Structure 1
Amino acid sequence: MFNKIFSFVILALFAVGCAQNPETSKKEFNVEYEKFVLDNGLEVIFHIDPSDPVVAVSLTAHVGSAREKEGRTGFAHLFEHLLFLESENLGKGGLDKMTARIGGSGANGSTSRDRTNYLQTVPNDALEKMIWAEADKLGWFINTVTDPVLAKEKQVVKNEKRQGVDNQPYGHTSYVIDKNLYPADHPYNWQVIGSLEDLQNATLADVKEFFRRWYVPNNVTLTLVGDFDPKQAKEWVKKYFDEIPKGEPIESVTPRPGKIETSKKLYFEDNFARLPELTMTWPTVEQYHPDSYALDVLSEYLSSGKQAPLNVVLVDNKKLTSNVRMYNRTSELAGQAQLSIRAFADKDLDEVAVALEEAFAKFEKEGISEKDLARIKAGQETNFYNALSSVLGKGVQLTQYNIFANNPGFINEDIQNVLAVSTEDVMRVYNQYIKGKNYIATSFVPKENLIAALEGSEKAEVVEEKIIQGAEESFDASIQASYEKAPSSFDRSVEPPYGKAPEVKIPAVWEESLANGLKVYGIENHEVPLVQFNLVIDGGQLLDDPKKVGVANLLAQLMTKGTKSKTTAELEDAIEQLGASVNVYATTESTTISVNTLSRNYDEVMTLVKEIILEPRWDTAEFELAKQSTISRIRQLAASPNMVAQNEFNKLIYGEGNIRSQNILGNIKAVEAISIDDLRTYYEKFISPSVTRMHVVGDLGKINILASLQNLTTAWESKEVNIPAFDAPSRPETAQVYFYDIPDSKQSMLQFGYPALASTDPDFYSAEVMNYILGGGGFASRLTQELREGKGYTYGIRSSFSGGKVAGPFSISSGVRSNVTYESAQLVKDILIDYASTYTAEDLKTTQSFMIKSNARAFETASAKLKMLENISEYGWEADYVKGREKIVNEMTVERIQELAGAYLDPNTMIWLVVGDAKTQMKGLEKLGFGKPILVNQEKISMEVDR
């Protein structure tokens, strides 16, 4: 997706700049880089950005699922995992351990159809260490992969598939589409993550063959972006990568579009869906194809915005859905235009299909105007600068162009392709790829609602896993591999030293209180010509009537649905013509107006924000639509195991009498009872500058910002708002296991914990320091090392103190494969019991190193700076509160960690909530020793266990 973001936005940059000075604009917006190639074929890209003392390091292999063989799928994604685990010179878990010590962002990666990347942002004093570590991935890794390591990582990947696909509503949609859009021998016929069967059948020999073919220097790009000395970095790259042997030549691939001989209609009864969803897919063209740019515009015009033809017909006129999604997905070999409509619960997808034809006919008659074409392109300039606000984003984009356009400088050449798009092109690609063309139509419907599927649909072939106790193979991932080390001209086992320690600069913060009570906090920053700001209005759900929760959420939705002088469409158009975004959302404790804009358009955007605050439209049609949309979301979330776990946990933590126990959306009965007058009352009583904090980060200073607020100070009258103070919940006296049944769930969602600390509690940050090694430190944490790396039970697990204005919960959360539900819970219990007594001086050293060194990247992005301002305004902290936290970290002792663990990690007083398949998993949890589990939802359950 990155390629199109940059393509469209450069047009806006070019067009706007040329109106003033074409030559200046070309220079001003050029992303400079240096590229060189080693003798072994490794391509290296440098881009210098001295704004923060950090460097983004990415290693990207031109291999994704498209390079796999049928029956051996999922290998590229498997290597995304394996390459983090061990290498000859870093040792087992070495990269993750080093990441913690150096204060890195956390080694991460992703796999697509066509490439696999490995990413991390680190303080610049650790650059040589990272270059050393990345070289080990290519030249000194594969010998460390053993049968036990492979067996364990298969389980991790399969858990990822269960979590993201098998246990999610509509999770199998892409599988069904791709199986029917691409022939069996096409490399896009299978999913990137592969199949459970293929992963299980993969042998060590298969895996090593795949690595040696594709993970070679002549198929890899190394990109460094940030604050570093390029001359020194080039020497390090050559030192560590030069002697890695070149692989066999890699043949280029030829585009091969999907093929549909005749339109196909397929249905699937989805265990987790609560609403019927229709997805239609047409084969299009590969990335950078001349038509791909017009197809992007077409997709956005048809589906995005109040006046989009699909929204006008399906949402406003027919009231079949609250949302239409359409996009043009482009990959190296092919593309596909995809349109999805999740209908309301009582609607039939045949009605949706008829309405789609009407919407397309509307577009065919009216076309797209020059104004709409300009509007669609205009917003991309802001997206462009947002992408440039992080060194990692720049690195990803330069790599993308290098691999798939054979030139990182294509970022500038691509402008001409975007400039060429006309309204005629948009209509032409519609006629060429969509109108009257064969398609794949999938109907994903709830169980027992097959009648909602498109008439004439055939059953889709989907492989679903059965829950069988003891089905997974056993392994011992701790067994050390025995092998002859790969040769090197120097001793690579010696970790390179740190460079010069980076100088961490805390951003300068300015503050002001206005006459009406509005408090303003700002950070001036000129890295990119953007301003991001938000207005946080305290109250949120806390000001709802406990018997009619949902008013704050609905009001937030309605605030962007027009003003006194502008309809919803007119307001939306005014914002988008400026290339800005304005979003309003409610949380438990506040309502937030969030804005992103080019700095040159700030004043105009602020004028619109003032209208939104002071002159609501109270559009009854939009209100009814918002209610219907909210009810649909409530229905759908009721079948999402993740959301069920969070909602039920909140109920157990806070209790019935506390409004925090309720989902901010409310329940169906409450939402149906809400009137637009309820929203008016909330607005008139509670939306006040006296409880509002404004946070501003970007390319304008204090004088400009305050000048823009002058008339808001006089027009927005202050009123007294009393926010209810609900009692902080107390910790249970004894532990209890609770179970929420979702029949045939492929994973069990674990949510363990109890009420703990507010963010203002003297122990709060110390407790976070204590939690780093337990579950807050990613791969450095024991929970991850034991449950994921040691046992393969889960894809991910974490623990955290949520904080907040009142005591928020300490919680441990994870999704584990169903047939190890008890084993996972017992292992968590054991880790908690042993944590204090087994915490070491080395654990403390790792924690201190990470928490101090990571401050080098603490304020890199605008979002991080906004969060800093929010902390200052909400909790009354000083602008340099980070220094106080550093003092806590530096003075921490093992004894203090043990004391904190004793106070805040007691498994015997915790809530142990499991959301999963009760008939196979509930009874086993009695072995935890906390009594018989309590069934939360009162459905009849067979307690028989599959064997």
Structure 2
Amino acid sequence: MIPVLLACLTACENTIKSEEIKPTDAIAGVSFVESVTAKAGQTVIPYQKYVLDNGLTLILHQDRSDPLVHVDMTYHVGSGREEIGKSGFAHFFEHMMFQGSENVADDEHFKIVTESGGTMNGTTNSDRTNYFQTVPANQLEKMLWLEADRMGFLVDAVTQEKFEIQRETVKNERGQSYENRPYGLLRERVSEAMYPLGHPYSWQTIGYIDDLNRVNVNDLKAFFLRWYGPNNATLTIGGDLNVDETLAMVNKYFGSIPRGPEVKMPIKPSFIIEADRYISMEDNVHLPLVYMSYPTVSVRHKDEAALDLLSSILGGGKTSLLYKNLVKNQLAVQASVSHPCAELACTFNMLALPHPASGKTLADMEKVIRDSLLEFETRGVEDDDLIKAKAEMEANFVFGLQSVAGKVSQLAANETFKGNPNYIEQDIARYANVTKADVMRVYKKYIKNKHGVIMSIVPKGQKALVAAQDNFTPAARVIPELAVTSDTDLRVRKAKDNFDRSLMPIAGANKAVDVPQMWRETFTNGIKVLATQSSETPTTSILIKIPAGHYFEDKDKAGTAALLAAMLNESTTKRSAEDMSKALQKLGASVGISASNSYLAININALTKHIDATLALVYEKLTAPAFLPNEFDRNKNNAIQGAINGKKNAGYLASNAYRQLLHADNIAATPSGGSEASLASIELSDIKALYQQQVKAKGSEIILVSDLDKSSVLKSLSIFKSLTGEGKALTLNLPESNAKRGVIYLVNKDNAAQSAIRIGKRSLTEDVTGEYYRAYLMNFPLGGAFNSRINLNLREDKGYTYGARSYFYGDKFSGTYTASAEVRADVTDKSIVEFVEEIKRYAEQGISDEELAFMRSAINQKDALKYETPSRKLGFLAQILEHDLTSDFVKERNDIVANISKAEINALAKKHLNLSEMLMVVVGDAKTLKPQLQALGYEVINYEI
């Protein structure tokens, strides 16, 4: 796919500013490398680069626009550095790095970051592992202390107990994301067939269960000691920072950590596929799938850019050949092309899922794909292909600069893989210089008459549907005899300090966070406008809300609003869907239309220089939809197939059953996307009727964040002043169902590796500063944060799940309280016991003093992160307009958090956490689960969706 690396044009030079950073005075142990500053005519992210004596690379980017910092620690190690028989280690360590270190107690890392008002996570891929936090600027030293402690003081804190629990958590993640998900094993099977035995990409980052079961805790420690030294890491910090102070803090906490073993760039193994390799598998899916994958180059190879462009021409949206030849004519429900790249290899991937009504097989899909390649040879590369791709890259780059996290992650990646944070302009040049001849050349070199892996996934029991009989079996993994790693084999490196690392730094006062300055306007036609100016990037983001959502439908025709949204994304009376898509792509603009419960939402992101042209196209979509019968049929049929396929997903089944059981026979009991039956009953006339009734001016809202001033914004929005009319007002009564409480409703999913659990009841409607908000505060330590009681119990203590939570959700018409998780099938009953005990204990005993302090600190220090990006500002403004608030509600909420008493929270817990008022939904293998659940003492009722 096209990366976020395209020319920013001159506007960025004026709107994305950082102070010109000068090399600081020398600090012992820290060497200055280079300083890059913003200059006219250049596309750069300003930074300073340093290297500590122990090899740690440090990159600093100063950005004073918001009082926050983003800290990224990237280690140049991923699954591609693992050995046969020891797969999944890099990802396993991503988990272990959050489990505490010598000076940070178990599960304290998440708590400290959350309590600081920040967010955090970690990710692992084949080539690198990164850990990152975004926090208020005053919390920077605390984050450096945390990162340094797990770099230099982790090994001795990795216990056998932690190892076993996280091993189970990783297994749960594999079950949830791979084995229990339709098509979830596709990439694993293709990689096994694509790469030679032992190639580091022949296994997935998650690894194999057998490998995880085979190794011991010392094997894991040895992996850490090999790869997680400072000389194999890049620390990148961006935001509202003081350079001299930051350098001193980094040197203090990281400077004494000893170097690890030397690390060389990995070798790129070469291989050739001499004949097409057909493989297949049966899966719990509704639709068969064919996937064709060809080896190409590696990341930032000179041919990568042209191959990316080729993938766009063949399968990038409504202007692509596969869309035209497979999706538009309803031969396929879905077809796409991608060209993902990694450090050692890239693949060119094409996939299609045939539409059942077409009568086409996977062999037919393969033939159409191959014929589309031949058509490309004849068609060639058109001027618009280059224009679209380059406009998209420009927009992606600019939008990537809207957050300090986006800028930091780009600096970190460029340093890790190129040794040069300032690689942006070289990347820009790679794409800007692609010619038509380049695209055709790479097609002939890497795709035409070349061989790859052709994977068929078919529903269970339908092996005859494969594209071709299997002709390839990957070589069996030969696991070498693995020596047992003992304590004496570990070469632990110890830092020597002149300060006490056990003392967590104390943060200074939070910097003041200003609520965005906003202005309002109401057009004479009734459209309300709420906007704010943000000059950090030359972009405009808009959310248009039209009262025409799911709740305006008849329950027997649920999905009408979703289909209306889909049709507004199709042809207009003035241009085809393909021409509309092409016009938007040439502007580098994105327009997405979707339906929520109450509204149609039009999300618009555009470069400000193209805002008028973009809004003209949006206006055309809204006022001149063609409502073509063939486009309606395609979208309706695809929606039906999506609803059928959703029944293969345990989470989808659980959510639908839960929704039905909590609501009486009304619109809220139906999924907003519709069911197979409701979608089948919808006619094009229903779509037109909802459009004519509800897509009107009065009651609609425009929320906008732009670098333009008010007068310029109003001039651009004036196109919408010609809209007229008022839709039907929404009057809605959503009574509760008569479903029994205190029982378990069991939905069968044969042989499910995991069970989906929902526990809950109808509850409060949304109230921004009332009891609904106070109930959110009450639930925060129970199930509203990573280190909540429920998640720590089921995930961190027991290893039953990848994640568990509880929450209140409401709108103006109804609300629910829900506890949920997907758990290992063999611990379904145990998980319910733990859920019930945690909820019951909290209702009876209430919040602790420590939890109350944690909740207050975590929520009231989040302000620095609330308004950083245009998307966050849009959400904030939309809330104000939806509930007719003033910005003073922020202060009112802060006061509630600061002053809510322990007694009030405990009273809310007793009121809202009465388990006798709740019902339970479990989706899993009924024949196994029913007797186990009955043994818990519950009435178990079989339930069908």
* Structure 1 length-normalised TM: 0.93
Q: Which residue is equivalent to 1:411?
A: 424
Residue of structure 1 aligned with 2:440, choices 382, 402, 427 = 427
Q: Which residue is equivalent to 2:758?
A: 751
Q: After TM superposition, what 4+ stretches of structure 1 lie above 6 angstroms from structure 2?
A: 14-18, 459-463, 483-486, 730-733
Q: Secondary structure at the match of 1:70?
A: coil
Is residue 2:283 matched to residue 1:274? no
Residue of structure 1 aligned with 2:543, choices 534, 537, 546 = 534
Give the Cα separation in 1 of the matches to 2:333 and 2:555. Answer: 26
Q: Secondary structure at the match of 1:329?
A: coil
Unaligned runs of 5+ in 1: 464-482, 939-947
Letter in 2 for 1:235: A
Residue of structure 1 aligned with 2:301, choices 258, 281, 289 = 289
Is residue 2:115 matched to residue 1:101? yes
Q: Which residue is equivalent to 2:23?
A: none
Is residue 2:732 matched to residue 1:725? yes
Distance change >3 Å, CA 17–CA 872, structure 1 → 2: closer
Q: Residues 286 and 459 of structure 2 are in contact (CA less than 8 Å); yes or no, is this contact kept in structure 1? A: yes
Q: Secondary structure at the match of 2:569?
A: coil
Letter in 2 for 1:337: F
Give the Cα separation in 1 of the matches to 2:269 and 2:193. Answer: 15
> In the TM superposition, what is the alpha-carbon distance from 1:569 to its structure 2 partner?
1.4
Is residue 2:661 matched to residue 1:644? no
Q: Which residue is equivalent to 2:926?
A: 918
Give the Cα separation in 2 of the matches to 1:415 and 1:290. Answer: 12
Give the Cα separation in 2 of the matches to 1:630 and 1:123. Answer: 43
Bigger mean CA deviation after superposition, 663-672 or 278-287 = 663-672
Is residue 2:391 matched to residue 1:383? no
1:648-659 paired onto structure 2 within 5 Å: 648-655=657-664, 657-659=665-667
Give the Cα separation in 2 of the matches to 1:60 and 1:640. Answer: 34
1:239-388 paired onto structure 2 within 5 Å: 239-271=252-284, 273-317=285-329, 319-345=330-356, 346-388=359-401
Q: Residues 757 and 806 of structure 1 are in contact (CA less than 8 Å); yes or no, is this contact kept in structure 2? A: no
> In the TM superposition, what is the alpha-carbon distance from 1:882 to its structure 2 partner?
1.4
1:802-821 paired onto structure 2 within 5 Å: 802-821=809-828
Letter in 2 for 1:323: Q
Letter in 2 for 1:116: T
Deviations 1:315-342 (A, max 9, x none): 234x221322211111111111111112
Q: Which residue is equivalent to 1:767?
A: 775
> In the TM superposition, what is the alpha-carbon distance from 1:457 to its structure 2 partner?
2.8
Deviations 1:42-71 (A, max 9, x none): 001111111110000111111000111101
Give the Cα separation in 1 of the matches to 2:475 and 2:684. Answer: 44
Q: Which residue is equivalent to 1:175?
A: 188
Letter in 2 for 1:499: G
Q: Residues 124 and 499 of structure 1 are in contact (CA less than 8 Å); yes or no, is this contact kept in structure 2? A: no
> In the TM superposition, what is the alpha-carbon distance from 1:727 to its structure 2 partner?
2.7
1:148-227 paired onto structure 2 within 5 Å: 148-227=161-240
> In the TM superposition, what is the alpha-carbon distance from 1:579 to its structure 2 partner?
0.8
Distance change >3 Å, CA 662–CA 570, structure 1 → 2: same
Q: Residues 506 and 880 of structure 1 are in contact (CA less than 8 Å); yes or no, is this contact kept in structure 2? A: no
1:428-827 paired onto structure 2 within 5 Å: 428-457=441-470, 487-655=496-664, 657-714=665-722, 716-729=723-736, 734-760=741-767, 762-778=770-786, 780-827=787-834
Q: Residues 301 and 376 of structure 1 are in contact (CA less than 8 Å); yes or no, is this contact kept in structure 2? A: no
The percentage of aligned residue pairs carrying the same residue is: 34
Q: Secondary structure at the match of 2:328?
A: helix
Give the Cα separation in 2 of the matches to 1:360 and 1:903. Answer: 63
Deviations 1:501-540 (A, max 9, x none): 2111100121111111111111111110111101111231
Q: Residues 181 and 258 of structure 1 are in contact (CA less than 8 Å); yes or no, is this contact kept in structure 2? A: no
> In the TM superposition, what is the alpha-carbon distance from 1:17 to its structure 2 partner?
9.7
Q: Which residue is equivalent to 1:79?
A: 93
Q: Secondary structure at the match of 1:564?
A: coil
Q: Which residue is equivalent to 1:477?
A: none
Give the Cα separation in 2 of the matches to 1:914 and 1:65. Answer: 35
> In the TM superposition, what is the alpha-carbon distance from 1:26 to its structure 2 partner?
5.1
Q: Which residue is equivalent to 1:830?
A: 837
Residue of structure 2 aligned with 1:135, choices 132, 136, 148 = 148
Is residue 2:863 matched to residue 1:850? no
Give the Cα separation in 2 of the matches to 1:663 and 1:167. Answer: 22
Deviations 1:530-560 (A, max 9, x none): 1110111123111112222221111110112
Letter in 1 for 2:815: G
Deviations 1:857-905 (A, max 9, x none): 1111111111111111111222232111101100111111110101111
Q: Which residue is equivalent to 1:34?
A: 48
Q: Secondary structure at the match of 2:420?
A: coil
Q: Secondary structure at the match of 1:751?
A: strand
Q: Secondary structure at the match of 1:691?
A: coil
Distance change >3 Å, CA 325–CA 17, structure 1 → 2: farther
Deviations 1:901-922 (A, max 9, x none): 0111112211111111112122
Q: Secondary structure at the match of 1:395?
A: helix
Q: Residues 572 and 625 of structure 2 are in contact (CA less than 8 Å); yes or no, is this contact kept in structure 1? A: yes
> In the TM superposition, what is the alpha-carbon distance from 1:484 to its structure 2 partner?
12
Distance change >3 Å, CA 760–CA 24, structure 1 → 2: closer
Letter in 2 for 1:236: M
Q: Secondary structure at the match of 2:862?
A: helix
> In the TM superposition, what is the alpha-carbon distance from 1:14 to its structure 2 partner?
8.0
Distance change >3 Å, CA 733–CA 351, structure 1 → 2: closer
Give the Cα separation in 1 of the matches to 2:296 and 2:255. Answer: 41
Q: Residues 43 and 424 of structure 2 are in contact (CA less than 8 Å); yes or no, is this contact kept in structure 1? A: no
Letter in 2 for 1:647: N
Q: Which residue is equivalent to 2:4?
A: 6
Give the Cα separation in 1 of the matches to 2:262 and 2:472. Answer: 43
Letter in 2 for 1:232: E
Q: Size of the alignment, in residue pairs?
A: 904
Q: Residues 654 and 756 of structure 2 are in contact (CA less than 8 Å); yes or no, is this contact kept in structure 1? A: yes
Q: Residues 825 and 928 of structure 1 are in contact (CA less than 8 Å); yes or no, is this contact kept in structure 2? A: no
Q: Residues 747 and 916 of structure 1 are in contact (CA less than 8 Å); yes or no, is this contact kept in structure 2? A: yes
Give the Cα separation in 2 of the matches to 1:419 and 1:95. Answer: 43
Letter in 2 for 1:741: N
Give the Cα separation in 2 of the matches to 1:257 and 1:786. Answer: 46
Q: Which residue is equivalent to 1:126?
A: 139
Q: Secondary structure at the match of 2:524?
A: coil
Bigger mean CA deviation after superposition, 920-929 or 542-551 = 920-929
Distance change >3 Å, CA 881–CA 460, structure 1 → 2: farther
Letter in 1 for 2:299: Q
Distance change >3 Å, CA 607–CA 663, structure 1 → 2: same
Give the Cα separation in 2 of the matches to 1:538 and 1:852. Answer: 33
Q: Which residue is equivalent to 1:891?
A: 899
Q: Residues 12 and 538 of structure 2 are in contact (CA less than 8 Å); yes or no, is this contact kept in structure 1? A: no
Q: Secondary structure at the match of 1:307?
A: coil
Distance change >3 Å, CA 88–CA 17, structure 1 → 2: closer
Letter in 2 for 1:413: Q
Q: Which residue is equivalent to 2:917?
A: 909
Bigger mean CA deviation after superposition, 719-728 or 245-254 = 719-728
User: Root-mean-square deviation (CA), in Å?
Assistant: 2.1
Bigger mean CA deviation after superposition, 333-342 or 235-244 = 333-342
Unaligned runs of 5+ in 2: 15-36, 477-491
Letter in 1 for 2:313: Y
Q: Secondary structure at the match of 2:638?
A: helix
